[in-house]
Structure formats: C-alpha cells, structure tokens
Amino acid sequence: MKRFALLAAAALAAPLAAQTPAITQPAAPSPPPTPIKVDPFVAKLRDAALQDDLAYEITEGLTTEVGQRLAATEAEARGRTWAVAKLKALGFRNVRVEPFTMPVWVRGQETAEITAPFPQKLELTALGNSAATPPQGITAPVVVFREYNDLLAAPDGSLRGKIAYIGHDMAPTQDGSSYGAYGVARRAGPAIASRKGAVAVVIRSIGTDEQRLPHTGGTNFPAGVQPIPAAALSHSDANQLERIAARGKPVTMRLVLTPRQLGRGESGNVVAEIPGTDRNAGVVLIGGHLDSWDLGTGAIDDASGLGITTAAAKRIMDSGRRPRRTIRVVWFGAEEVGVFGGRAYAQAHGGERHDTAAESDFGADRIWRFETNFLPGAKAVTDRLGAALSPLGISRGTGRAGDGADVGPMFALGTPAVDLNQSGERYFDIHHTPDDTLERVDKEQLRQNVAAWTAMLAVVAYAPEELGPVPVAK
C-alpha cells in the first residue's frame, strides 16, 4: 500500500506519524524539449522483461505453497522459509532473515445477524485489533451513520449500549487517493464509537465493489480508549442494512466476534542483495511485503509486488554488468498490521547510505505514472528514467514522490524515492478480501510492471550522479 497506506500505517503507529514524510520537489521538472536516447543496455533489458515469467512464478508459488501469511503467525514464518529458499535459488547474495517481535492478533469466529425487524444473516469480518464479544455474542440496537462525519457529530454517551454502523461509501480513483479519505472510517471510526459509548461497531467495507465479500484491515484503539468488537460488512450487506434501516423500524443486531490478542510474537524481514561495484554509492532498496491479511492468499497484496521487484532485480543480476549501487531486495514482514517490518528495517539499516527506496504494493495492474524526488543535481537521472519508461505507457508525474508503507521510515530519514504508480481502478474491489487470490493477477500487466522496474533499476542503480539524501518535509 502506497502513500495513503503510509498514512493509514501512521494512524496505526503513532510513534511513526511524526516522522511521516511529505516530500515535494521544489518544482515539477518540465519534460525535456527533445527526446532523450535510451541507453541500449536499458532498452534491451526493459524489452526482454516484457516476456518475464519469474514474477508470476513467484506470485503463484508463494500464494499456492504458503497461502495466506498473517503477520507473526506460523503461516508468515513458512513464508519466510519459502522466501529464503527462493531467493537463494535465484542466486541472490547475503540472503537472510532479520527477525523482530510484535504484538499478534488473530481472527476467530465471526457471524452477524439482524434479529429485528427482518431477521437475516449478514456477512462481515473482524477488523485487525478488534476486541472480542462474549462467545455467545452481543445483541444490541444499531445506530446508523451513513457518513463518518455523522458519527463525529453524535453526542458523547449517545451510543451507550448501542452498535454503531458507519457507512462512508468509497469511490475508486486511479491513484488510490480515495483510500485515505474513506479509510478513516475503518482506522479511526471504531475508537470514536467506543469513546461515545458504543458496545461494538460495524462499518461498510472500505472498498469499491458491490460484492458479498467483506474487506478487513487494521483499526486502532489509542491508549485510554476501550477496544470494542469492530467488523466490516460486505458492500451488499451494508446496502441491505441501510435499506432495512430506511424502513424506519428499530434495527437490532446480534454479533459474534472472537478474535484474540496473543501477546508478542516473531516476524521478520527477508533480505537479499546484488552487491554493487561502489560500496560508497548507496543502496537501492526495493521490495514489497511478505505478510498478508488472512482472508485471501495475498496475491495482489502483496505477493505480486515481491514477484515484480525480485524479477526485475534478477534481470539486473543476469545482465552481465554489475550495478554501481548495491540492490537490496527486501520482503518485509508485518506490513498490514502496523508496518513493523519497515520500522525494524529502518532501525537496523537507517545508518547505511541509501540512494533510492521504492516499493511495489498496489496490486499487479499496469504502471501509468512515475515520480522521483532526487536531488536537483540528479535531474538528468529522472529524464533518462522518463525516456526509458515512456515506451511502456508511463508518464511523468507532478514531482511528489514517497509511496510505500515499508520504505516510509527510510524516506523519513532522507532516502530519495522512486514511485512506479500502478492503476488503482480495480484494486479496492479486491483489497483485503477473501478474493485476493492468484486469479486477480493479469499476467500481461504483471510483465509491464517487471519491465518498468527493470528499466528503473537499469537507470538508477548505475547512475553516476548523487541522488540524495533529500530534504525531509516536517
């Protein structure tokens, strides 16, 4: 998850929030007046990558042979074992797990039904960090808030003994920016409902489909706020609840949610390298996250991001020309539940020079735009990158860069960013649902991603220019 996810993560992880960067170049660079010739080395690697099979092989393998990979569970640990074996087999150097510990939340039973006025079951799923109901569930009247702001306006204490429902229906955008504005209902809504006395909260899934599959995702109960059971209804079920409530009769719901907090457990980042020729040139950090939510198999979120970045790095490894900068591929642990892997990485490696960080974590659909925020003296690198990406249908953005939750903590330390923006038009139809499976990955669009990442590495990892550190916006 990208910029908006970083914001989401920041909401989950208050200590990080203060460091969250909002990096803007002084002025968006104008496109060069005449076309820049693309280095044949770059062009050849890029074009060959359009036939890539490795990204799909990694995505297929991880989702099939491991399946879901909820953070700090034995499934994620199997994922790390799989990752180490795969990265070693591909020929990467210094392949290792860098472990860290974190609080562990696991899903339990989850059912809901309207008991009055029209008895029927509803489909929902607990949000990460949800508290549990008693095993027999709770039954309470439902207060319907169609918008998040309506919840904010509810008087203190007005939800005592009630289940709060929050609508706040999200529309898709190509850049995924609506996730920031609408996701607040999931990230902050449950804590607000708790403060106002609610015994539980159900939200409309943060997603853009109208299907019968709920979207999970993390919520946050800050210190001093009583955690309450919190779940997301599928869009069909949210519509149904709103239709029923619109009849004007009191609505009562029974809710059974039995997730558990298991205390601290172990997760880890899997790190692999292609050593560069110049030890002082800084690391190019790329990757995605290995963990996933537990409902699907984490194909678009984020096995495909691992496949794309690893396949691109492998092409550089096999190119016959060692890069100037060390390329470090990281399969981050525990992103979904609070960017624990990204923060552990920055803690361990923040002192090393990094000259670029970039993450693929927005599905597997085609890249349509790129962004960089290199030092002004490296404008030519961005120009060369633009020329190399243009034949893939990728245009230059507005000069704001810094996507990627896991690499966010490195941006906060001044590492320059390269964003390769994937189309978000269908991403939030599937995001965090049971439907995040291999079937959602389009092989041709996946290959376009690999070509773009290969071209990016072929330009950036070899560039003689200094790229950073860049100023960090406060």
Q: How far apart are CA 272 and CA 317, in angstroms?
A: 12
Q: Give the closest residue to 45 by CA, choosing from 421, 430, 453.
A: 453
N- to C-terminal Cα separation, the chain: 22
Least Cβ distance, residue 240 to a second copy (angstroms): 6
> Considering only 237-245, 353-361, 456-464, 466-474, which stretch makes contact with a second copy by CB under 8 A?
237-245
Least Cβ distance, residue 166 to a second copy (angstroms): 20
Q: Retrieve residue 309's tokens.
A: 């970045």
Q: Is 240 in the site for a second copy (CB under 8 A)?
A: yes
Draw the binding track, 277-306, toward a second copy (x: CB under 8 A; -: no contact): -------------------xx---------
Where are the strands (E) in 248-387, listed by range? 252-257, 260-274, 283-289, 326-332, 354-359, 367-372
Hey, which residues does 161 pair with through a beta bridge? none
Q: Is 212 in the site for a second copy (CB under 8 A)?
A: yes
How many residues bind a second copy, per CB under 8 A?
A: 31
Please identify which residue in 3, 235, 328, 349 interacts with a second copy, judged by CB under 8 A: 235
Please identify which residue in 236, 261, 390, 445 interacts with a second copy, judged by CB under 8 A: 236
Q: Is 118 in the site for a second copy (CB under 8 A)?
A: yes
CA angle 296, 297, 300 (to 5 degrees): 95
Draw the binding track, 122-151, toward a second copy (x: CB under 8 A; -: no contact): -x----------------------------
Closest to a second copy by CB, 117 or 161? 117
Q: Is 213 in the site for a second copy (CB under 8 A)?
A: yes
Q: Give the closest residue to 369 by CA, choosing from 429, 424, 328.
A: 424
Closest to a second copy by CB, 122 or 357? 122
Least Cβ distance, residue 82 to a second copy (angstroms): 10
CA angle 419, 425, 426 (to 5 degrees): 110
Q: Retrieve residue 22's tokens.
A: 């909002």
Q: Give the closest residue to 362 by CA, choosing from 317, 423, 432.
A: 423
Closest to a second copy by CB, 24 or 211? 211
Long-range contacts of 248-251 (CB under 8 A, 24+ apart): 249/116, 249/117, 250/116, 250/117, 250/141, 251/114, 251/116, 251/117, 251/141, 251/142, 251/144
Q: Is 53 in the site for a second copy (CB under 8 A)?
A: no
Site for a second copy in 69-108 (CB under 8 A): 75
Q: How far apart are CA 422 and CA 445, in angstroms?
A: 10
| Phi then psi dihedrals of residue 324, to 5 deg | -65, -45
Q: Rounded to an integer, what is the distance from CA 334 to the centroid of its chain?
A: 11
Q: How far apart are CA 420 and CA 180, in angstroms?
A: 19
Please identify which residue in 53, 64, 91, 347 interacts with a second copy, judged by CB under 8 A: 64
Please identify which residue in 60, 150, 425, 465 interacts with a second copy, judged by CB under 8 A: 60
Q: Is 244 in the site for a second copy (CB under 8 A)?
A: yes
Least Cβ distance, residue 217 to a second copy (angstroms): 17
Alpha helix stretches (DSSP H) within 178-292: 178-187, 189-195, 235-246
Please identify which residue in 226, 439, 443, 464 interacts with a second copy, judged by CB under 8 A: 439
| Phi then psi dihedrals of residue 98, to 5 deg | -110, 100
Please identify which residue in 53, 65, 318, 352 interacts with a second copy, judged by CB under 8 A: 65
Q: Is 119 in the site for a second copy (CB under 8 A)?
A: yes
Please identify which residue in 35, 53, 81, 120 interacts with a second copy, judged by CB under 8 A: 120
Site for a second copy in 191-210 (CB under 8 A): 210
> Considering only 96-104, 216-224, 239-247, 373-381, which stretch makes contact with a second copy by CB under 8 A?
239-247
Q: Is 66 in the site for a second copy (CB under 8 A)?
A: yes
Helix (H, G, I), strand (E, B) or coil at 181: helix
Q: How far apart are CA 92 and CA 290, in angstroms?
A: 17
Least Cβ distance, residue 211 to a second copy (angstroms): 6
Q: Which residues bind a second copy (CB under 8 A)?
A: 60, 64-68, 75, 118-121, 123, 210-213, 235-236, 239-240, 243-244, 247, 296-297, 433-435, 437-439
